Amino acid sequence: MIDARIRKTFHSRDDSAEFALDVHIRTAARIAVLFGPSGAGKSLTLESIAGFTTPDDGRILVDDVLFFDAASRLSLSPQQRRGGYVFQSSALFPHMTLRENLGFAAGSIPRLERRRAVGAMLEQFHLGDVAGRKPGELSGGQRQRGSIARSLLSSPRILLLDEPSSGLDAPLREELYAMLDEVRGAVQIPILLVTHDLDEAMQLGEEMFVLHSGRVVQQGAPADILDRPATEEVAALLGRFNVFDAEILAMDPAANRSRLRCTAASGFAFELDGPYFPGHMLGAKLRLGIRADALRVTAYATHGVSMRLRKLGRRMQTVRAEFEGGIVAEIPGSGLEGGAHNGEWMVRFPSESLRLLK
C-alpha cells in the first residue's frame, strides 16, 4: 500500500520556471502507474518517495513504514527506505561486473548465503551467462533486467521504476513486461512505475495516476481513464481523442437523446445526435470528446456526418484517417475499402461513446 502526499515548490531561476508539485498517490494496487508528459512531476514524485529529494510538506507511508512526515519532522534516509530505484538509463555501476553489482546490493544477506542468492537471482532473470560482464558489454535489455534484479536483492520495501523501458525496442519491451509480471507475482511489495507510454501503462498498471503540471488530474483503472477522461487535459494527454465544442439544439430526456451543433478546429461545423446530458439546458455550450477508435467510417450510410478525407496514414494494425476539422478516426485493418465519391465519407459518432469533458 502506498499513501504519499507530496508538496514541493521549486522557485524560478534563470534557467527554469517555477514548478510546484502537489500530488496525493494513494493506492493498494500491486503495480501503480504514474502517467504523464515530461515535466509533469512523475520522476520528482518517485525521487521524493526514494528519499533523494525532501518534500516541503506531506507524508509518505509505504505499507506500514512511515518514510516521511513533515508534521513530525521525520525523514528516513534513502538507505533506510530501501526504495529499489530503477533508473531510466540503467544505473548498474560501470566499474563492476554484473555479478559484483548484484553482490553490492546483497550486503544485508549473510555472507554464506550471498553467493547462492546472487546466483539464483541471475538465473531467474536469465543473466547467468553474462554475469561476468561489465554493464558496458551488456545489451539494453540485459542491463535493465540486471538493474531490477539488483534492486530486488536489496530486499526493497517498494520498487520504483523510472521509465524502465525507454530506449528498448518493441520485443525487448515485451520481454521486460513479462518479467515485471513475474516479479509482481513473486514479491509482496508495491511497484510504482513511471511512464509516458500509454501502452505500457495499459499493459502493466492496475491503477493509473495521470499527472500534469505537478498535479494528479485523474486516477483510476487505466482502461476506465482511457474510456472516460475526466478533463480535456487528460483527453489531450491520452492522445487518440477528438475534442470539440458542442451546443445543445434539442433534447429529449425520456429517450436519452439530444441534437448537437458541433464546431471542430478551424471552424468546421457539423450536427450530430448525442445522449441526453443531465443538468445541461437547451443552448448550453459543452466540450465533448470521442476516442478516435470509436468513430465509424463508411462509404455510404443513411446517418452520420459527411466529411472530406484529408490524410490517410497506415499503422501496424489500423488506418488513421484525418478528416476536415482535424477529426481523426482509427479504423481497424482495411476498414476504408470501397472508396467514396469525391473523398467524402460518412463518419458516425456513436452516441454512447461521446464524453462530456470539463
Partner 1 sequence: MGIDWFPLWLSLRVAALSTLISLLAGLWLAWLFSSRTFRGKNVLEACITLPLVLPPTVLGYYLLILLGRQSQLGKAYEWIFGQPLVFTWQAAVVAALLHSAPLLIKFSTAAMESVPRRYPKAARSLGASEWKVFWRVSLPLAWSQILAATALAFARSLGDFGITIMLAGNIPGRTQTVSVAIYDAVEGGRGDVARVLVLVISGIALVSLTLANRMGRLSVGKAG
Name the minimum Å distance from CB 151 to partner 1.
7
Name the minimum Å distance from CB 237 to partner 1.
27
Identify the residue among 6, 21, 50, 307 touching partner 1 (CB under 8 A).
Answer: 50
Taking CB under 8 A as the binding criterion, the range among 87-95, 111-119, 137-145, 177-185 that sits at the site for partner 1 is: 87-95
Cβ nearer to partner 1, comparing 98 with 262: 98
Residue 236 binds to partner 1 (criterion: CB under 8 A): no
Among the listed residues 111, 118, 174, the one whose alpha carbon sits nearest the alpha carbon of residue 146: 118
Vertex 57: Cα angle to 52 and 63 (nearest 5): 65
Q: Are 261 and 249 in contact (CB under 8 A)?
A: yes
122-161 residues in contact with partner 1 (CB under 8 A) are 150-151, 154, 156, 160
**Alpha-carbon span 54 to 67, nearest angstrom:** 11
Cβ nearer to partner 1, comparing 156 with 274: 156
Name the minimum Å distance from CB 112 to partner 1.
19
DSSP annotation of 236 reads H
DSSP annotation of 343 reads G
For helices 98-105 and 140-153, angle between their N-to-C axes, nearest 10 degrees: 20
Identify the residue among 10, 19, 93, 268 touching partner 1 (CB under 8 A).
Answer: 93
CB-based burial of residue 238 (10 Å sphere; 0-12 exposed, 13-18 middle, 19+ buried)?
buried
Name the minimum Å distance from CB 103 to partner 1.
11
Residue 107 binds to partner 1 (criterion: CB under 8 A): yes
Identify the residue among 36, 55, 84, 325 touching partner 1 (CB under 8 A).
Answer: 84
Identify the residue among 28, 57, 74, 108 touching partner 1 (CB under 8 A).
Answer: 108
Residue 52 binds to partner 1 (criterion: CB under 8 A): yes
Identify the residue among 11, 95, 303, 311 touching partner 1 (CB under 8 A).
Answer: 95
Taking CB under 8 A as the binding criterion, the range among 33-41, 101-109, 122-130, 195-203 that sits at the site for partner 1 is: 101-109
Among the listed residues 84, 88, 67, 87, the one whose alpha carbon sits nearest the alpha carbon of residue 121: 84
CB-based burial of residue 19 (10 Å sphere; 0-12 exposed, 13-18 middle, 19+ buried)?
middle
Helix (H) or strand (E) holding 326: none
Q: What is the dihedral of CA 123, 127, 128, 129, to 10 degrees?
A: 150
Identify the residue among 19, 104, 268, 276 touching partner 1 (CB under 8 A).
Answer: 104
Residue with cell 539464483: 120
**Alpha-carbon span 8 to 13, nearest angstrom:** 15
**Alpha-carbon span 294 to 289, nearest angstrom:** 11
Residue 79 binds to partner 1 (criterion: CB under 8 A): yes
Residue 91 binds to partner 1 (criterion: CB under 8 A): yes
Identify the residue among 10, 19, 87, 276 touching partner 1 (CB under 8 A).
Answer: 87
Please enumerate, as own/partner, the contacts of 244-247 that have beta carbons within 8 Å and a separation of 24 or more: 244/287, 244/288, 244/289, 244/325, 244/327, 245/285, 245/286, 245/287, 245/288, 246/274, 246/285, 246/286, 246/287, 246/288, 247/283, 247/284, 247/285, 247/286
Q: How many residues bind partner 1 (CB under 8 A)?
A: 26
Identify the residue among 89, 113, 223, 358 touching partner 1 (CB under 8 A).
Answer: 89
**Alpha-carbon span 7 to 70, nearest angstrom:** 10
Name the minimum Å distance from CB 92 to partner 1.
8
Name the minimum Å distance from CB 154 to partner 1.
4
Cβ nearer to partner 1, comparing 52 with 276: 52
Cβ nearer to partner 1, comparing 45 with 219: 45
Q: How far is CA 116 from CA 5, 30, 85, 102, 182, in A?
A: 39, 28, 23, 11, 20
Identify the residue among 21, 105, 191, 237 touching partner 1 (CB under 8 A).
Answer: 105
Binding site for partner 1 (CB under 8 A): 50-52, 77-79, 81-85, 87, 89, 91, 93-95, 104-105, 107-108, 150-151, 154, 156, 160
